[in-house]
Amino acid sequence: MKAAIYCRLSEEDRNKQSETDDSGSIRNQKEMLQNYAIEQGWEIYNIYSDDDYAGADRRRPQFRRLLADAEQRRFDIVLCKTQSRFTRELELVEKYIHGLFPKWGIRFVSIVDNADTANKGNKKSRQINGLVNEWYLEDMSDNIRSVLSSRRENGYHIGAFALYGYQKDPDRKGHLIVDEEAAVVVREVFTLFSKGYGKTAIARMLNDRGIPNPTEYKRRKGLRYQPPKSKAGTLWKYSAIADMLINEIYIGNMVQGRYGSVSYKTKQNCPRPRSEWFVVEGTHEPIIERDLWERVQAMVAERAKPFDTGNVGLFAKKARCVGCGYTMRSSKNRGRHYLQCVSRHIAKDACRGAFISVDRLERMVIDELHRLSVEYLDKDELERNVELCNDLQVQKERILIEQSQYRKKLEEYAKGIRDLYLDKIKGLLTESDYVTLSRELSTERERLSRTINDIERQIEVIDEKMAVGDNRRELIEQYVALDHLTREMVVHLIDYISVGQRIPGTRDVPIEIHWNF
């Protein structure tokens, strides 16, 4: 039997010598699990270890690698310290531990809480563990949010890293002190801008003198930043200068909460309106004097161009420079629009820089669409497929209604199990009554879960059938006779476009289109 060991630690490590080391807790988990596997006579296939990741984070790299290897049946057992090390989400417990792992012929074992899918008798306890872990996640998220909000309201810095120009005060938690080496650069940026230098020009001046950008500066100071993928990743850019010039932290005000998480189950953040920010004045020593700050803010406002929400660039955030990988910026000259590499003006040898007109890129995309339509589109077959897909769509809508009804019932049973568990803890139910009632609810809940899984498979089959004919109709056929693109088409069709440098001696610019289909 081959066992795959999975370890995870969510708390920030404080006992690492370097970011590539394992924390003490991870080493302890590995040792415990290796010894257990040896005692059971299992061969250790691999050790998957995610350090500094929450149990609700589905993007854990080693976790995803483990699941991919599990699907390929490369081992027989997944071995963890506790079920919560694998996941704290009840949904993933049901999907993998009770769903896909048995289908793939994989046994799940956690040694501390005695979860073992080879023992059918403890399935209920695994489900209850999943419920408790789910509640733990939600309660912990609420508690942490409350504590952090309180600290922000009182002007304490709670970020993992201090803003460039400052460092964390080692003697006073939540307080910032000036990092004089970086503060000199901050003052220079403000002074140069006040004298009329542009943001790109300032970035180029700093790069020509070899001054590392904020991310590279922190990495060189030993903070846990990943090394850049290219030299361009160490350079100052227009955006870094622009952000610095309007950051109130440089005048002694603590500004936090500009971004917030979408859910406790994801690390995805979204911007918040200024009314929801936490702004506390005079919390630390300013780097920029008030008169210089006000002068710069007036110049920033004067130079700012009005943003027209109805005039987003055709290829905005879709074109990337092959040389450095950065998103190309738009520019305008004599009434024509162009896309150019953001790195080409910030340093002499940063990147030779891709450059192409928007009209030319649009023509190249349309020509490629025409080529695809001729090569892949069979109009007669398409018409037959459209009729078929219309029938499938009606069928799919009916099944989705059923799925919604079953999921609602499933939530009701889950709530019933949770309420029973709380009643047992409060002493309102005896252990015997709890076991009997929860068994009945769990049995019905399992039946509903199987029904929902069957429905999801039906939907996948329908989607595959629809995609055979209808996907090409939606994504190619409507563009056969195009003369121009719209922003909506670009967003729908294109993931991104890599743009190279013009071939010497010609007007040809190589591009590579990465489609969404």
> What is the pLDDT at residue 377?
61
Which of 81-95, 308-322, 345-359 is predicted least confidently?
308-322
CB of 235 within 8 A of CB of 245?
Answer: no
Residue 372 has pLDDT above 70, yes or no: yes
Q: Which residues are registered as beta bridge partners of 8?
A: 50
Over residues 487-494, mean pLDDT: 83
> What is the pLDDT at residue 226?
64
Residue 75 has pLDDT above 90, yes or no: yes
Q: How confident is the model at residue 466 (pLDDT cuts 50, 70, 90)?
A: low
> What is the pLDDT at residue 310?
43
Percent of the chain with pLDDT over 90: 22
Over residues 457-467, mean pLDDT: 74
Length of the chain: 517
Residue 461 has pLDDT above 80, yes or no: no
pLDDT in tens, 10-49: 654 444 444 444 455 677 788 888 888 988 899 999 999 8
Over residues 174-199, mean pLDDT: 93
What SS3 string covers 319-331?
Answer: EEECCCCCECEEE
Which of 97-111, 193-207, 272-286, 300-314 is predicted least confidently?
300-314
Residue whose C-alpha is closest to residue 409's, from 358, 363, 447, 357: 447
Q: Which residues are registered as beta bridge partners of 3?
A: 44, 77
Residue 179 has pLDDT above 90, yes or no: yes
Degrees (nearest 5) of the Cα angle 205, 217, 322? Answer: 65
Over residues 355-369, mean pLDDT: 89
Q: How many CB atoms lie within 10 A of CB 142?
A: 11
Of the spans 23-37, 115-129, 372-386, 477-491, which averages the highest pLDDT?
23-37
pTM of the predicted protein model: 0.48
